[in-house]
Structure 1
Amino acid sequence: MTSSTPKLRDGITPAPQSPAEIRAERRRIIESIRALRRFLDKRRAFELADRRRLNREARDRSRAEAAHAEELSHIKEKQAQQERSLTQDLDSLDGKREQQETRALAVLRREFIERRLRNTPLTVSELNGFGTGLIRDLAAQGISTAADFTRVTWDRAPNGKGGNVLYIHRTDGHRVHINGIGQHRSGPLMEWRQAALTRAEARAPRTLPPDERHRISEIIKAERARLRKELSKASLTAEDARTQATQRHTETLELLATTEHEAARLAAERRAEFDAMAEQLLALQSELSAHVDRHGDAGRRIRRAQRRALRPIPALPAIPSPRAPVGLAKKSDSTPAPAVRASLAWLLPIFYFGFTTVVGVGELGSNTASPGLMITSRLLALATTAELLRLWIPRRRRQTQDPMPSGTGWQATGMFLALAAAGMFADEKSDVFGAACVVSVLAALLLLAGTGLRIRPPDPVQPSRQGRTS
């Protein structure tokens, strides 16, 4: 803000000619200082919002890194699982080859035996006790070769009368009963079939033909080539997936960086505005001091506003950030100390003074305190509890975390000793008057020391700028 008072060529402002003009000029300077102070009061809220922004950006970056790491881990796990499965399939190919050869040989032997059994017909000359009529009856029931039946069993007759009869089980699963074939003829029938089966098994091939073995080898070879191709393809697929994941991660980080750069630029501009306002405020304070030195007191009504205007700029508490701002942030000469929350140990004195608010002092057991002590002790304990809670709760929050003010512990200890001394004075049965006096004196000293530390003025934030007013 610039003064409307005319200046000479050498830049020296002419002195006002009347007390009214002096007061008007001083009020103008004071109002300008008030306006600047109102704007500067918003700086703390701005710094808190900017710190929340930095916390949010750091959280978004950590989430992006965690998501990228998780995706890479998933790709690696999937690749390892696929490669492990393919390797197991490759290792099992030799056993698979033997199994296929064994199955092919079993099929070849079974087909040979079935073919030999079908070529062994039922004849009268081969079966003792079987005539032409029984052979014809068996053929009528579909049993004409050794391959047409498997076994014989005894069961109830088809009409349920006459007891058990002999059943011949055909190869297709049905069973038939032939009149005239009973226990005496079933033995020769099964012995004939078993002999035919034994001859067929003895003549069946015991090794695979070369062409069948070659065919199985070609199948295993093709399967091995396919598995090796899939194994090499699994590595390429995983590498492509990692490349795409890295590309997406890079794009996410670039987007975050762009947003952070823009937010940091706006924050730097806003912070520069506050710095410029602070410079203007210091200049106006220097002008006001010079005006007071040149013209003296301007009246009782303006004196109090003048003192308030000349107050030093309030110290802005250090608000640490989780990381340095991106891009446009200025490098400081010293690294700010990390924020420290108020300790949870302060809950002990808070609970004690809260308990004292309820029970008072000097009232336990058979002691009876005076009404004045009962009321006073409860009020002091209540006030101490409220003050500690007022100081401790905001300093536990993440946005406003800070250690307890200097001297608070001394004051709490002094109040504890004061209440203890009051209880000792109220105790009529014990001779502790001397000790109560010592404790009360110590409590007074601690309260005075703590109060002195609490009211000690804070160090200025910008001593170099404030020094310009001198």
Structure 2
Amino acid sequence: MTLINRTTPTRDGSTPLPQSPAEIRAERRRIIESIRALRRLLKKRGAFEVADRRRLNREAGHRKRAETAHTETLRRIDEQQARQERSVTHDLSSLDGKREQQEAQALAVLRREFIARRLRNTPLSVSELNGLGTGLIRDLATQGISTAADFTHVSWDKAPNGKGGNVLYIHRTDGRRVHINGIGQHRSRPLMEWRQAALARAEARAPRTLPPDERHRISEITEITEAERARLRQELTKTAHAAVTARTEAGQLHAETLERLAGTERDAARLAAERRAEFDAMAEQLLTLQSELSAHMDRYGDAGLRIRRAQRRALRPIRDVPTLPAIPSPRSPVGLADKTDAAPAPTPRDRASLGWLLPILYFGFTTVVGVGELADNTAPVGLMISSRLVALAATTELLRLWIPRRRRHTPGPMPSGIGWQISGMFLALAAAGMFADEKSDVFGAACAVSVLAALLLLAGTGLRIRPPEPVQSS
């Protein structure tokens, strides 16, 4: 298409001065370069959104660690309070009933001393011990037994020299045992009865209540015990107050930490919103420049083959980068969506189909085996080389177009007209094989296939080189 220099009225009704082809191309290049610069800047939006999501994850992690630390601090405070309260409560319980215990112990000591004193004042005498004479009493005194307090009981055991069988032993109060010749089973019975009678008289006469002086001494000890109980109760109250204070301080520290994190999050969110607003503004500016480029193409037509591809790339739709759901863009997404309705971004369903693998595999196979060389056929050398070159060119072109349109970041349909061209090349190779087949009379069919292949190639080429329709802005 040749360059058309037209003049259209402006909004105020005046007719602008016509521009030269060089000025038109320069203006169009300026718009295209501006679009390229904006596209390079908008490419950074994906990385920005990923970084912003990582920021949100870090902030959530900081908040979680703050909550965990606060919970752990409260747990340690509760454990320390419980441990101190158990210790103080145990000490308090040990003080309960201490006076009664001391009085019982003092009375038991007093009775024990009284009984021991009465037994020491009860000597052995012939008049009170039937069957024991003066000699045996003297022998007992020689062995340290002269009163009822000097022995406790008797028992039978082997003789000291190991001869004569078992003999009677008298157990002294100090733990020793002695054997007195002449005291056996018959004489030991009155001896033990006499001691038990003396012990019963002593126990009956022993005091059953404490004297006043002993009670006063125990009362003084009880006052000390009550003072200790009051101190322990005060310590228990202090422990509860200290736990409440520690919890309050931990809550204040936790609130300060959360406030600091919230302030940092607000600042980061504000910067992210400003950055997102910049990207939105650049996207709107890009749409405006695309509309301006379309209007320029409508007004002045084609500017030449060299700039044609740059125009197509400049008019590509903006790839949509969704913002985080937690932080919406400060600009209205509805207005931006309305402006991009005329040129929607590629979606997964616009991705090149896997069905294109079939022609790719076919042309790759033809690159290896050629055309008209199967079975016993032998193709001319020129056909062998040219068919392989054509098949290699078709395979390379298909891969060049198909692979980028299958990627996640650059999806899109195959170019218009490529199907017609591939079909024409397939029929052309098939016609070449039919011409090389000398055993079959398919010359007429080969000519018809060749004509059809040429038509398909011409139609596909026309669709490929036809400029895209300009984007109409609403």
Q: Could you state the TM-score of these two structures normalised by the residue count of structure 1? A: 0.58
In structure 1, what is the equivalent of residue 175 of structure 2? 173
Closer/same/farther in 2, CA of residues 281 and 224 from structure 1, 3 Å limit: same
Is the CA contact (8 Å cut-off) linking 1:48 and 1:319 kept in structure 2?
Answer: no
Is the CA contact (8 Å cut-off) linking 1:16 and 1:22 kept in structure 2?
Answer: no
Q: Write out per-residue CA displacement over residues 56-102 of structure 1, whole angstroms, 9 at most, x where no aligned residue.
A: 31233134224423533553465456546755765675544433433
Opposite residue 41 of structure 2, the aligned amino acid is F
In structure 2, what is the equivalent of residue 270 of structure 1? 275
In structure 2, what is the equivalent of residue 195 of structure 1? 197
In 2, Cα distance between the equivalents of 1:333 and 1:126? 124
TM superposition shift of 1:272: 4.1
Is the CA contact (8 Å cut-off) linking 1:156 and 1:165 kept in structure 2?
Answer: yes
Helix, strand or coil at the partner of 2:154: strand
Unpaired runs of 5+ residues, structure 2, are 1-15, 335-405, 409-470
In 1, Cα distance between the equivalents of 2:56 and 2:124? 99
In structure 1, what is the equivalent of residue 300 of structure 2? 295
Is the CA contact (8 Å cut-off) linking 2:49 and 2:323 kept in structure 1?
Answer: no
Closer/same/farther in 2, CA of residues 309 and 141 from structure 1, 3 Å limit: farther
In structure 1, what is the equivalent of residue 103 of structure 2? 101
- The structure 1 residue matched to 2:234, chosen from 205, 217, 229, is 229
Opposite residue 307 of structure 1, the aligned amino acid is R
Is the CA contact (8 Å cut-off) linking 1:101 and 1:216 kept in structure 2?
Answer: no
Is the CA contact (8 Å cut-off) linking 2:116 and 2:149 kept in structure 1?
Answer: yes
Helix, strand or coil at the partner of 1:228: helix
2:318 aligned with 1:313:
yes
- The structure 1 residue matched to 2:250, chosen from 242, 245, 251, is 245
Helix, strand or coil at the partner of 1:142: coil
Closer/same/farther in 2, CA of residues 185 and 66 from structure 1, 3 Å limit: same
Closer/same/farther in 2, CA of residues 32 and 331 from structure 1, 3 Å limit: closer
In 2, Cα distance between the equivalents of 1:103 and 1:333? 91
Opposite residue 180 of structure 2, the aligned amino acid is I
Is the CA contact (8 Å cut-off) linking 1:72 and 1:242 kept in structure 2?
Answer: yes
TM superposition shift of 1:237: 1.9
Is the CA contact (8 Å cut-off) linking 1:148 and 1:171 kept in structure 2?
Answer: yes
TM superposition shift of 1:241: 2.0
In 2, Cα distance between the equivalents of 1:195 and 1:30? 132
Opposite residue 54 of structure 1, the aligned amino acid is L
In structure 1, what is the equivalent of residue 130 of structure 2? 128
Is the CA contact (8 Å cut-off) linking 1:51 and 1:320 kept in structure 2?
Answer: no
In structure 2, what is the equivalent of residue 41 of structure 1? 43
Larger Rg: 2
In 2, Cα distance between the equivalents of 1:331 and 1:174? 108
- The count of aligned residue pairs is 324
Closer/same/farther in 2, CA of residues 285 and 193 from structure 1, 3 Å limit: same
TM superposition shift of 1:232: 1.0
- The structure 2 residue matched to 1:58, chosen from 54, 57, 60, is 60
In 2, Cα distance between the equivalents of 1:136 and 1:333? 126
TM superposition shift of 1:283: 4.1
Q: Could you state the TM-score of these two structures normalised by the residue count of structure 2? A: 0.58
In 2, Cα distance between the equivalents of 1:284 and 1:70? 58
Closer/same/farther in 2, CA of residues 223 and 284 from structure 1, 3 Å limit: same
In 2, Cα distance between the equivalents of 1:83 and 1:245? 21
In 1, Cα distance between the equivalents of 2:33 and 2:173? 117
TM superposition shift of 1:331: 9.8
In 2, Cα distance between the equivalents of 1:331 and 1:277? 12
In 2, Cα distance between the equivalents of 1:161 and 1:16? 155
Opposite residue 49 of structure 2, the aligned amino acid is E
In 1, Cα distance between the equivalents of 2:188 and 2:166? 14
In structure 2, what is the equivalent of residue 419 of structure 1? none
**C-alpha RMSD over aligned residues:** 3.8
Is the CA contact (8 Å cut-off) linking 1:149 and 1:171 kept in structure 2?
Answer: yes
Opposite residue 177 of structure 2, the aligned amino acid is R
- The structure 2 residue matched to 1:144, chosen from 146, 157, 177, is 146
Opposite residue 262 of structure 2, the aligned amino acid is A
Q: Residues 319-334 of structure 1: matches in 2 within 5 Å?
A: 319-321=324-326
Helix, strand or coil at the partner of 1:205: coil
Helix, strand or coil at the partner of 2:193: helix
Closer/same/farther in 2, CA of residues 208 and 238 from structure 1, 3 Å limit: farther
Closer/same/farther in 2, CA of residues 114 and 186 from structure 1, 3 Å limit: same
Opposite residue 150 of structure 2, the aligned amino acid is D
Opposite residue 60 of structure 2, the aligned amino acid is A
TM superposition shift of 1:165: 0.9
TM superposition shift of 1:143: 2.9
In 2, Cα distance between the equivalents of 1:285 and 1:126? 139
In 1, Cα distance between the equivalents of 2:17 and 2:79? 84
Opposite residue 195 of structure 1, the aligned amino acid is A
2:122 aligned with 1:156:
no
Helix, strand or coil at the partner of 2:114: helix
Is the CA contact (8 Å cut-off) linking 2:32 and 2:311 kept in structure 1?
Answer: yes
In structure 2, what is the equivalent of residue 426 of structure 1? none
Opposite residue 143 of structure 2, the aligned amino acid is Q
Is the CA contact (8 Å cut-off) linking 2:276 and 2:330 kept in structure 1?
Answer: no
In 2, Cα distance between the equivalents of 1:243 and 1:173? 66
Helix, strand or coil at the partner of 1:166: strand
TM superposition shift of 1:270: 3.3
Helix, strand or coil at the partner of 1:315: coil
